[in-house]
Amino acid sequence: MAAAGGLRSAGWRLWRGRAVVRCQQYPPLRALQASAALRRASDEHRKEPLASSSQQHFDSPPDGHQPEQKPQGPHPSYTGQGGQESEDYESEEQLQHRILTAALEFVPEHGWTAEAIAEGAKTLGLSVAAAGLFHSDGSELILHFVSECNTKLSELLRKEQKLVQLGEAEKKPLDEFLRDAVEARLRMLIPYIEKWPQALSVLLLPRNIPSSLNLLTSMIDDIWHYAGDQSTDFNWYTRRAVLTGIYNTTELVMMQDSSPGFEDTWRFLENRVADAMTMSNTASQVQSTGEAVVQGLMGAAVTVSNAETNR
């Protein structure tokens, strides 16, 4: 049907637009006035290095942080405001985003803390007081990291799907697809693995649970979408619940894993996915056996009643 095809492509366009803005929309947690004031202060601070002392800006290659003339192009702006700003004005969201991204490289050393954020702010030429924009337990940093990982995963899955559509790659069987997707996502934790348990406990704080749950569910939904799930009945929930369980348990195993290259974790993952496949096969077998039994009983009842009437 043309209508269905048109709607389907509309759905794809909607979805693709989503993938970029899909990042979690969690609200900035400090008053706008405070951060605006801070930004003015850091603006003044920034102007000075351009004139005088900050050789480090120009001598060392600016990998990822450049002198503050224009904000870079594709910032995944959480609220979509970024695209509407004029070129030399950076929104609050974009600024926080850049600080948090810069802070990530200091996490292995300082943990998910205000120190890491302060170091990140310093590399951008901002005052260390910029860390005051964020909570002291590093919640925003962790949520930012998770959101970035999810975006990367979506990109990866989207590219893979494109390759399959173009016929350049084979379509993976379901268990392999799920296994690879979860593994790819968990591998993004490896640089931060030492401090990750701390991050997990912060994500479980009641204040953060709506956001972290949201991020988790949208990631799992993404994986199933690219796996080709088209269920519109209760299976929709069952599948996501099962995959969430697999992801969470594998993540916990990974925290404890000291084997080379985390091979124990990947083996654990493989077994869990295989279990899930077996369970679903068993479930459908049980159902068809049940239906067959019911039919048999109905047949027997009809036979008996016929026998009775014919007697």
Partner 1 sequence: WTLDNWSQNPVIDRILRVDHAGEFGANRIYAGQMAVLGRSSVGPLIQQMWNQEKDHLKKFNELMVAYRVRPTVLLPFWNVAGFVLGAGSALLGKKGAMACTVAVEESISEHYNNQIRTLIEEDPEKYKELLQVIKQFRDDEQEHHDIGLEHDAEAAPAYSVLKTAIQLGCKVAIFLSERI
Q: Given the rule CB under 8 A, which residues bind partner 1?
A: 3-4, 6-8, 10-12, 14-15, 17-18, 21-22, 210, 214, 217-218, 221, 225, 230, 232-234, 236-237
| CA pair distance 24, 144, nearest whole angstrom | 8
Tell the smallest beta-carbon distance from residue 39 to partner 1 (Å): 29
Q: How much of the chain is helix, strand and coil, in % rounded to 5?
A: 75, 0, 25
| Tokens, residue 135 | 């909570």
Q: Which is nearer to partner 1, 196 or 226 (CB)?
A: 226
Map tokens 């009983």 to a residue: 297
Contacts of 154 (CB under 8 A, 6+ apart): 19, 22, 222
Number of Cβ within a 10 Å radius of residue 246: 21
Least Å from the CB of residue 4 to partner 1: 5
CB neighbours of 25 closer than 8 A, spacing ≥ 6?
A: 78, 79
Closer residue to partner 1 (CB): 195 or 239: 239
- Which lies closer to partner 1 via its Cβ, residue 134 or residue 226? 226
Between 12 and 58, whose beta carbon lies closer to partner 1? 12
- Phi–psi pair at 189, nearest 5 degrees: -85, -15
Q: What's the closest the beta carbon of residue 280 comes to partner 1, in angstroms?
A: 17
State which residue, 259 or 287, has the beta carbon closest to partner 1.
Answer: 287
Minimal distance, residue 119 CB to partner 1, in Å: 32
* CA distance linking residue 239 with residue 14, whole number of Å: 23
- Nearest approach in angstroms of CB 73 to partner 1 is 22
